[in-house]
């Protein structure tokens, strides 16, 4: 019954409308019922729970801003809340809704959207986002080697993609490939049953184990021009999608810290050593307060950035600094949280080991710490350090 046990130390949720707060409670109750009790088992097994997809569809969290009229602030807090319950399930949704559906909402023609989006929103079709390559990670803009060759009314795709979330079972993947004619990176909707398309699960990950990431090979994959995303004609277009999803990943770093706060605070008040709860020791309280301070400073930055996004004013460099800052605080917070649990902090069953490990993936994807730092650095110096 402690006033701050929910982690909302500065009452940020009061900034939401009544309707949004009610919806957030609905989502929290769903996560408590459908995700939290199973999250550690799923993570240990390292297999995505297909049975969850119709249940997520019933909850209907897809495209809260474009389709459901909620604020970006609400969408961000929801994303943090999904992550707080389980970072893998939040990432599954971040790929299907954010990266994949976001590509279609931002870059497909009106006709393409009308044809594809209903099944995607209903989660009858699951999607993935194929940008990163084995040889093109941070330098994906210059390093995209997958090619697209126009052949009459068709395109022929050849190349390889790495790390593609959901692509072991998804129906569609948006593939970004370089047009051999004009050298620009373009986007294509690829049905995963097309001949020449293969995906292989990346095994033995130590983070986000419930998310299935794939290596993809494209060998003379022929698709109709109807599946070229009409607004995806250069890397600048791809970046429109990444600007928004980077903001969502920075919110994930908030959620991951809230998760560390939840587990560490509860453990510290219950665990006794020297005849008293470990929470009674000053050095343990200091670590809990460090997690709280990190989380609240991250959240304050994210609340303002989402408000700017709602006003249509958020800039790429603001998303980049937010991703770099919140994920750096996240790494400190999950390390402190793991420490508060002592030896039990490295056993998956106590929850914290999963939170600690998953943070490493969030730290690296959607632009690493270094790349996001350099995007922010470019904006304040006028000098690009990475081109």
Residues within the interface to ligand FAD (CB under 6 A): 95, 129-132, 137-138, 163-165, 208, 213, 361, 364-368, 370-371, 386
Specify the residue, 242 or 279, whose C-beta has the smaller distance to ligand FAD.
Answer: 242
Minimum CB distance to ligand FAD smaller for 337 or for 367: 367
Least separation in angstroms between CB 299 and ligand FAD? 23
* DSSP character string of 188-245: EEEETTSTTEEEEE----SSSTTS-EEEEEEEEEEEEGGGB-TT--SHHHHHHHHHHH
> Which residue number places its CB atom closest to ligand FAD?
137
Judged by beta carbon, residue 43 or residue 261, the one nearer ligand FAD is 43
Q: How far is the CB of 358 from ligand FAD (least distance, A)?
A: 9
CB-wise, 7 or 136, nearer to ligand FAD? Answer: 136
Instruction: Describe the crossing of helices 282-310 and 72-85 by its angle, rounded to 10 degrees.
Output: 140
Nearest CA-CA partner of 207 in 357, 48, 372? 357
Distance CA(302)–CA(362), nearest Å, equals: 16
Q: Do 61 and 55 form a contact (C-beta atoms < 8 A)?
A: no
Least Å distance, CB 90 to ligand FAD, is 12
CB of 303 to ligand FAD, least distance (A): 25
Is residue 322 within 8 Å of residue 303, measured between CB atoms?
Answer: no
Give the Cα separation of 325 and 90 in Å (integer): 20
Beta carbon of residue 363, minimum distance to ligand FAD (angstroms, whole number): 9
Q: Which is nearer to ligand FAD, 132 or 252 (CB)?
A: 132
| Spatial separation of the C-alpha atoms in residues 247 and 14, rounded to whole Å | 21
| Closest to 256 measured CA to CA, from 32, 88, 80 | 80
Least distance in angstroms from the C-beta of 135 to ligand FAD: 8
Nearer to ligand FAD, 209 or 265 (CB): 209
């Amino acid at each position: 019954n402690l006033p701050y046990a929910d982690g909302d130390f500065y009452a940020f949720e009061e900034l939401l409308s009544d309707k949004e707060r009610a919806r957030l409670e609905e989502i929290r109750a769903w996560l408590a019922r459908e995700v939290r009790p199973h999250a550690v088992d799923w993570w240990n097994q390292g297999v995505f729970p297909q049975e969850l997809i119709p249940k997520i569809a019933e909850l209907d969290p897809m495209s809260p801003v474009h389709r459901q009229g909620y604020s970006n602030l609400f969408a961000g807090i929801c994303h943090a809340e999904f992550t707080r319950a389980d970072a893998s399930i939040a990432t599954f949704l971040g790929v299907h809704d954010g990266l994949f559906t976001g590509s279609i909402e931002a870059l497909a023609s009106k006709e393409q959207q009308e044809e594809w989006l209903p099944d995607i929103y209903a989660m009858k079709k699951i999607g993935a986002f194929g940008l990163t390559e084995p040889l093109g990670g941070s330098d994906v803009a210059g390093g995209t080697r997958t090619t697209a060759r126009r052949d009459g009314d068709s395109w022929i795709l050849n190349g390889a993609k790495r790390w593609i979330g959901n692509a072991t079972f998804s129906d569609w993947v948006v593939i970004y490939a370089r047009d051999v004619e004009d050298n620009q990176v373009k986007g294509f909707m690829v049905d995963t049953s097309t001949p020449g398309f293969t995906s292989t699960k990346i095994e033995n990950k130590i983070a986000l184990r419930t998310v299935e990431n794939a290596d993809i090979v494209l060998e003379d994959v022929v698709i109709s021009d109807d599946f070229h995303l009409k607004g995806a004609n250069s890397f600048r277009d791809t970046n429109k999608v990444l600007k928004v999803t980077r903001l969502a990943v920075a919110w994930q770093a908030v959620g991951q810290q809230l998760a560390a706060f939840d587990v560490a605070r509860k453990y510290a008040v219950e665990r006794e050593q020297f005849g008293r709860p470990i929470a009674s020791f000053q050095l343990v309280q200091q670590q809990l307060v460090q997690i709280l301070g990190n989380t609240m400073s991250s959240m304050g930055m994210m609340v303002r950035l989402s408000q700017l996004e709602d006003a249509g004013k958020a800039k790429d460099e603001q998303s980049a600094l937010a991703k770099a800052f919140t994920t750096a605080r996240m790494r400190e917070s999950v390390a402190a949280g793991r420490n508060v649990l002592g030896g039990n902090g490295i056993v998956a069953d106590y929850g914290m080991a999963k939170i600690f490990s998953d943070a490493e993936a969030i730290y690296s994807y959607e632009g690493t710490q270094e790349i996001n730092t350099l995007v922010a650095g470019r904006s304040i110096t006028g000098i690009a350090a990475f081109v």
